[in-house]
């Protein structure tokens, strides 16, 4: 009876805490994470990894039933390629020779992802995509020029993408060029370290940080500090490179919640406690093929100086205690479920300097009634006389000549700075008012429009089957064609966010879209298997965040236009153009 009362009161307290979060919504559906499914035994809290010569290794007694990725890590720590410069030796060996053994294949296809190198075995054999750390999505003309020059030599095999985590990716790289590319990256202040597999992804912040007249806090220093910790300022941080799974972090700086806090493993929500500025904490948001979960409230508040220590404590909790069996059940939320949010918090607390973390501030600083803004076009900055210009990059794809032009424009009209948004678009900041009209005449703005057509404007598309070996469907070209047809035939009184993702990994986050399209196999009228999409509806971002659900499954790609037109009319009040 007492146990029942304690659990019930605990749930009421948690509910109150949750209701004080942004828009009261963030964790409403997360009852699952409040209490552990079974009581946590003491030996469950024994760390499963130990430090051996600087690398964190899974202890022998926890190796039963581990997944294949764990075995690959045990056979050889992937960070050795960077820390011990083994990449330089590997790059000198003929590719076919490396690829002739199981160990070599594991190096190429898996271990090199710790260095941000993704072998595109299925669609671009022998070539690599390279992904970076670009804290807060802030880049500049020098970096853009360098990346453009890297891919120029690969001709039609090279291109670049803006990603859904405010980041650059470049394509076409061959292994022998990698050591030189690493040297160049260091010169321009970029790093590709720890950007794939069981690592922390790019820390996301407000793309308007520091220039936004309405911002709550400039997120750039926090994202930079997090990134510096995560990759040890480019040297590699082996204390967090053997996580049970990938892990995402963001720092919120605006009422618009451009940073998507509800779908990050750790999100910092600005909040003042006893007159001191800091952050409330959300944990556990993630997407995966088998389960998608919104972040839940952890009863914690940190001051600005404790942003990095808290991230470290959460990561070490996940590293030490996270499950390493079925890979579909290894994201951090599974650990939170298993321990219960209270026990999880107490494990985090143990790993904080001083062994304590303060309780959350009653209310965070997000205005739940805020209307999300658009970036496109010209907007005054908080700095008088300066403007930022939002530019649309169709499905985030760029070629080298366009990148060089972009770099030139950033230098000529701004201060060389370029920002990337999680919608795969660009922002050019710091353009003096007197230069705006000249900038608007630049031919590049015909391609990267400051005023894109309505349905194109909010289109997001993942890499899809052009390069991604996991894809079931082509995304970028197909979605561009579809929105072109939608723009020609339909009109809607409000902007619609359309997201296309090539498989259930949902890198293009279909669950947050008004209409999301997830690649799947479908059957055409003759029952022949064809590429198709499951259609999601009703995803919301911002203070009333909500994950969308499937409304129609297995729609053949060729049938999409009429189906989408009808959904738009039925659910969003769209009309056919005369
Ligand atoms: Fe992703 C794996 C591309 C954001 C969930 N993702 C992949 C791989 C690496 C698969 C592969 O090896 O081919 C894709 C590389 C394709 C390529 O050649 O570009 C890939 N993911 C992307 C990007 C480039 C999509 C884009 O076009 O923008 C995004 C890169 C972001 C970055 O800069 O780091 C990208 N991926 C995401 C997101 C969105 C986000 O973080 O907000 C998600 C869902 C959110 C999440 O993870 O909680 C996402 N990607 C996945 C998953 C499923 C993870 C899971 O827990 O099951 C995989 C597969 C995996 O990890 O096993 C995956
Ligand atoms: Fe590849 Fe699937 Fe991610 Fe698209 S959603 S990039 S197809 S893994």
Residue 513: inside a domain: yes
pLDDT bucket at 19, cuts 50 / 70 / 90: very low
Q: Which atom of ligand 1 is nearest to the CA of 167?
A: 33
Q: Does residue 169 line the site of ligand 1, with CB under 6 A?
A: yes
Mean pLDDT over 457-477 rounds to 98
Contact 200, 315 (CB under 8 A): yes
Residues 152-175 have pLDDT tens digits of: 999 999 999 999 999 999 999 999
The dihedral built from the CA positions of residue 507, 511, 515 and 517, taken in this order, carries a sign that is positive
Q: Are 313 and 266 in contact (CB under 8 A)?
A: no
- Assess contact for 120 and 170: CB atoms under 8 A: no
Q: Which pLDDT does position 230 carry in this prediction?
A: 98
Q: Where a domain ends, among 394, 417, 447?
A: 447
The boundaries of the domain holding residue 196 are: 33-364
Position 484 in a domain = yes
Residue 3: pLDDT over 70 = no
Q: Let me know whether 182 and 52 are in one domain.
A: yes
Q: Count the helix, strand and coil residues of the chain and give each as a percent rounded to the nearest 5.
A: 40, 20, 40
Closest to 36 measured CA to CA, from 307, 321, 274, 253: 321
Are 388 and 510 in the same domain? no
Q: Measure the CA–CA gap between 398 and 35, rounded to whole angstroms.
A: 47
Residue 264, in any domain of the structure:
yes
| 15 has pLDDT over 70 | no
Q: Note the pLDDT tens digit of each residue in 270-284.
A: 999 999 999 999 999
For 226, how many CA atoms within 13 A lie in the half-sphere containing its CB? 30
391 and 353 belong to one structural domain: no
In a domain, 317, yes or no: yes
Same-domain status, 118 and 236: yes
Q: Which atom of ligand 1 is nearest to the CA of 289?
A: 57
Q: Which residues of 423-458 are buried (b: 16+ CB within 10 A; e: fewer)?
A: bbbbbbbbbeeeeeeebeeeebbeebbbebebbbbb
Q: Report the chain's mean pLDDT, rounded to a whole number.
A: 94
SS3 string, 127-174, reads CEEEECECHHHEEEHHHHHHHHHHHHCCHHHCCEEECCCCCEEEEEEC
State whether 320 and 174 are in the same domain: yes
Whether residues 229 and 199 fall in one domain: yes
Q: Note the ipTM here.
A: 0.99
**Cα 221 to the center of its chain, rounded Å:** 19
Is 247 found in the same domain as 382? no
How confident is the model over 130-160, as pLDDT tens digits?
999 999 999 999 999 999 999 999 999 999 9
Q: Do 417 and 473 have their domain in common?
A: no
In a domain, 27, yes or no: no
Number of domains the chain contains: 3
pLDDT band at 2 (very low <50, low <70, confident <90, very high): very low
Whether 43 maps to a domain, the answer reads yes
* Dihedral (CA of 423, 429, 435, 439) sign: negative
Residue 511 lies in a domain: yes
13, pLDDT greater than 80 = no
202 lines ligand 1 (CB under 6 A): yes
Give the per-residue pLDDT at 227.
Answer: 98
Q: Is the CB of 469 under 6 A from ligand 1?
A: yes
List, in order, residues 6 or more apart from 145 with CB less than 8 Å away.
403, 404, 407
What is the model's pLDDT at position 133?
Answer: 98
Is the same domain home to 57 and 177?
yes
Assess whether pLDDT exceeds 70 at residue 305. yes
Model confidence over 193-250: pLDDT tens digits?
A: 999 999 999 999 999 999 999 999 999 999 999 999 999 999 999 999 999 999 999 9
Q: What is the CATH number of the domain that holds 55?
A: 3.30.413.10
Q: Is 100 exposed, middle or buried (0-12, 13-18, 19+ CB in 10 A)?
A: exposed
Considering only 18-32, 54-68, 332-346, 482-496, which range has the smallest mean pLDDT? 18-32
360 and 382 within one domain: no
- 518 pocket-lining for ligand 2 (C-beta < 6 Å): no
- Tell me what pLDDT residue 34 has: 58
Compute the distance between CA of residue 193 and CA of residue 119 in angstroms, rounded to an integer: 15
* Domain identity same for 426 and 526: no
Judgement on whether residues 404 and 490 belong to the same structural domain of the protein = no
Whether residue 22 has pLDDT greater than 80: no
């Amino acid at each position: 009876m007492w146990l029942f009362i304690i659990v019930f009161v605990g749930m009421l307290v948690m509910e109150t805490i949750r209701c004080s979060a942004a828009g009261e919504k963030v964790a409403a559906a997360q009852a699952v994470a409040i209490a552990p499914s079974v009581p946590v035994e003491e030996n469950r809290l024994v760390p499963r990894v130990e430090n051996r010569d600087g690398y964190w290794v899974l202890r022998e007694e926890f190796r039963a039933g581990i997944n294949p990725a764990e075995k690959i890590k045990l056979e050889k720590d992937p960070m050795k390629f960077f820390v011990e410069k083994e990449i330089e030796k590997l790059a000198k060996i003929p590719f076919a020779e490396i690829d002739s053994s199981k160990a070599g294949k594991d190096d190429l296809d898996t271990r090199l992802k710790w260095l941000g190198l993704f072998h595109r075995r299925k669609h671009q054999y022998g070539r690599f995509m390279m992904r970076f750390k670009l804290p807060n999505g802030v880049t500049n003309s020098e970096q853009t020029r360098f990346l453009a020059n890297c891919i120029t030599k690969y001709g039609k095999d090279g291109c670049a993408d803006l990603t859904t985590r405010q980041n650059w990716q470049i394509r076409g790289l061959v292994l022998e060029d990698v050591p030189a590319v690493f040297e160049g990256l260091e010169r321009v202040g970029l790093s590709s370290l720890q950007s794939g597999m069981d690592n922390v992804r790019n820390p996301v912040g407000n793309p308007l940080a520091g220039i936004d007249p309405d911002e709550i806090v400039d997120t750039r220093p926090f994202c930079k500090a997090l990134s510096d910790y995560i990759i040890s300022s480019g040297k590699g941080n082996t204390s967090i490179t053997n996580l049970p799974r990938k892990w995402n972090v963001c720092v919120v700086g605006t009422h618009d919640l451009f940073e998507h806090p509800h779908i990050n493993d750790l999100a910092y929500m600005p909040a003042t406690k006893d007159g001191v500025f800091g952050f409330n904490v959300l944990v556990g948001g993630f997407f995966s093929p088998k389960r998608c979960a919104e972040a839940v409230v952890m009863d914690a508040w940190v001051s600005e100086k404790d942003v990095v220590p808290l991230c470290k404590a959460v990561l070490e909790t996940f590293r030490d205690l996270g499950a390493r069996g079925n890979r579909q059940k290894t994201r951090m939320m599974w650990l939170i479920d298993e321990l219960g949010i209270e026990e999880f918090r107490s494990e985090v607390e143990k790993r904080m300097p001083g062994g304590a973390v303060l309780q959350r501030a009653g209310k965070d600083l997000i205005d739940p009634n805020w209307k999300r803004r658009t970036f496109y076009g010209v907007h005054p900055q908080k700095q008088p006389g300066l403007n930022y210009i939002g530019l649309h990059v169709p499905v985030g794809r760029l070629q080298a000549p366009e990148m060089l032009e972009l770099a030139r424009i950033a230098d000529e009209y701004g201060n060389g700075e370029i920002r990337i948004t999680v919608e795969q678009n660009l922002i050019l900041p710091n353009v003096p008012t007197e230069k705006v009209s000249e900038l608007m005449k630049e031919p590049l703005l015909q391609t990267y429009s400051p005023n894109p057509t309505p349905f194109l404007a909010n289109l997001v598309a993942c890499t899809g089957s052009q390069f991604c070996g996991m894809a079931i469907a082509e995304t970028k070209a197909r979605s561009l064609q579809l929105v072109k047809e939608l723009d020609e035939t339909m009109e809607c009184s409000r902007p619609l966010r359309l997201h296309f993702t090539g498989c259930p990994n949902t890198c293009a986050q279909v669950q947050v879209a008004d209409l999301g399209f997830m690649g799947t196999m479908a059957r055409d009228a003759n029952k022949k298997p064809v590429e198709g999409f499951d259609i999601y509806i009703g995803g919301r971002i911002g203070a009333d965040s909500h994950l969308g659900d499937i409304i129609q499954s297995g729609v053949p790609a060729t049938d999409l236009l009429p189906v989408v037109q009808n959904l738009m009319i039925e659910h969003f009040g769209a009309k056919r153009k005369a």
